[in-house]
Amino acid sequence: MARRYFGTDGIRGKVGEAPITPDFVLRLGYAAGKVLAGADQWAQRGTRPTVLIGKDTRVSGYMLEAALESGFSAAGVDVMLAGPIPTPGVAYLTRALRLAAGVVISASHNPYYDNGIKFFSADGNKLPDDVELQIEAQLDEPMSCAPSELLGKARRLDDARGRYIEFCKSTFPASFDLHGLKLVVDCAHGAAYDVAPQVFHELGAEVVTIGVSPNGFNINDGVGATAPDALVKAVREHQAHMGIALDGDADRLQIVDASGRLYNGDELLYVLVNDRIATDGKIDGAVGTLMTNMAVEVALKKGGVQLVRAAVGDRYVLEKLRENNWVLGAEGSGHILSLDRHSTGDGIVSALLVLAAVKRSGRTLAELLEGVSLFPQKLINVRMSPGADWKSSDAIKRAIAEAERELESKGRVLIRPSGTEPVLRVMVEAASQTDAIRHAETIAKVVKDATA
């Protein structure tokens, strides 16, 4: 059964348009309370479950937080409010505090006028498809209200950020510190603005900050992991050793070295895999996605490490890791999973793992990636009309076949719908940048014409 509301990372959309409206989010809180928190079963035991709600810095977070809180209360679920905190912080606290579920109000890397809701189960994991389907089914049921004596209550979790800061620091080797290292930390005016700088500072680094002045409207605006030029400029300007960019909810990471070179999730996965081999011995495999650069797959294979590709979305990377009983996986966008450190992708923890790998090896990131020359990729987002049936288009099929014929084994074509936006993503990977751009633009034009 297809999901109607949930995409690859929760429910997301433009604020004020379905489904990101106060009335829908109220019903969503009630439905999630019934399914996730098992409110009915807890009531039979004479107690109430508790969920944690965190959010990023979007102005709409206030409205959606209130709607969610009301929905959970009506379902007989108590609520803890963490305020602005990174998405992985909610995952950690849900697990650490033995709560029934965690909820994040965020649209991640999207602009401020978008927002979304994503859930974590009691063990700090993103929800599997079947649970999301149960919540969607509950949304179709009439919404009622628990008796007054069973209504949920709400309270602030005042030390949420402090608890999470200590958790992040605990993932860095106790024998290491960051003294003598000058870091630029870009928090995208998002959820990590008051957390990430403290983590790196308390571990000993000299920290220069950008993107730490949220006003409700500037999240991801020209800063953060999706706009790394600001970080590159700041690293050079302050002559820093390295720069760290997070996105709006701080679950993805981009890193810049002292020369201004940018490293994406594919490259950082390669660094972390080799660090694990150096410290723990041989590892069997790692998980990437359909978008993972072929050069990384080839380089890992030379080192005896199998790369398995999952569908795009860190939830699917996680599924493959569990399926294979592995711990390391990543997306090129910067979602990095290290399951022996955290249950979900965490930009701060991932940065600490990379810094530990650099410190342990005594080499720079560039040196750690010698011999890995990424294949040029060109990605074009094509907006689609609602309900456009792009899969059955003969014109699109012909354009893809022609590009694949010319590329042969020296590149590939990938077309997929976004799980978070109404767009079709056209990606071409080729041995030369010219070929990647040419084929991507040709296919994108055909897609645009066929789906208009």
**What would the pLDDT profile of 19-51 be if each residue is shown by its tens digit?**
999 999 999 999 999 998 775 566 566 678 999
Q: Do domains 263-368 and 377-451 have the same CATH topology?
A: no
pLDDT at 57 over 70: yes
DSSP string covering 169-182: HHTS-TT---TT-E
326, 243 contact by CB (below 8 A): no
- Predicted confidence at residue 43, as pLDDT, reads 58
CA 106, 270, 239, 180 dihedral sign is: positive
Contact 101, 94 (CB under 8 A): yes
pLDDT, mean over the chain? 93
pTM, rounded to two decimals: 0.90
Task: Please work out, in degrees rounded to the nearest 5, the angle formed at the alpha carbon of residue 442 by the alpha carbons of 437 and 444.
Answer: 90
SS3 at position 370: coil
Range in 83-97, 289-303, 415-429 the model is least confident about: 415-429
Q: What would the CATH number be for the domain defined by 11-157?
A: 3.40.120.10
DSSP-derived secondary structure letter, 292: S
Measure the CA–CA gap between 102 and 80, rounded to whole angstroms. 9
Q: What is the pLDDT of residue 39?
A: 55
Instruction: Return the pLDDT at 321.
Output: 97
CATH of domain 163-262: 3.40.120.10
- Whether pLDDT at 2 is above 90: no
With b for 16 or more beta-carbon neighbours within 10 A and e for fewer, the 30-39 pattern comes to bbbbbbbbbb
How far is it, in rounded angstroms, from Cα 370 to Cα 54? 40
Percent of the chain past pLDDT 70, that is, above it, reads 97
Q: For residue 135, what pLDDT band results from cuts at 50, 70 and 90?
A: very high
Task: Identify the pLDDT of residue 371.
Answer: 82
pLDDT at 42: 64
- 146-186: pLDDT as tens digits: 999 989 999 999 999 999 999 999 999 999 999 999 999 99
The answer to whether the beta carbons of residues 27 and 140 sit under 8 Å apart is no
- Return the active site residues: 108
Q: Where are the domains of the chain?
A: 11-157, 163-262, 263-368, 377-451
| 367 or 298: which leads in pLDDT | 367
User: Helix, strand, or coil here: 29?
Assistant: helix
Q: What is the mean pLDDT of residues 290-302?
A: 91
What pLDDT band is residue 397 in, cutting at 50, 70 and 90?
Answer: very high
Strand ranges, E, within 94-240: 101-105, 114-121, 154-156, 182-186, 206-210
pLDDT band at residue 126 using 50, 70 and 90 as cut-offs: confident
108 is in an annotated binding site: yes
Architecture (CATH level 2) of domain 263-368: 3-Layer(aba) Sandwich (3.40)
The CATH homologous superfamily for domain 377-451 is Alpha-D-phosphohexomutase, C-terminal domain (3.30.310.50)
pLDDT in the model for residue 25: 98
Average pLDDT over residues 382-402: 88
Residue 6 CA to residue 334 CA, distance in Å, equals 22
Residue 249 marked in a binding site = yes
The mean-pLDDT minimum among 129-138, 151-160, 175-184, 263-272 falls in: 129-138
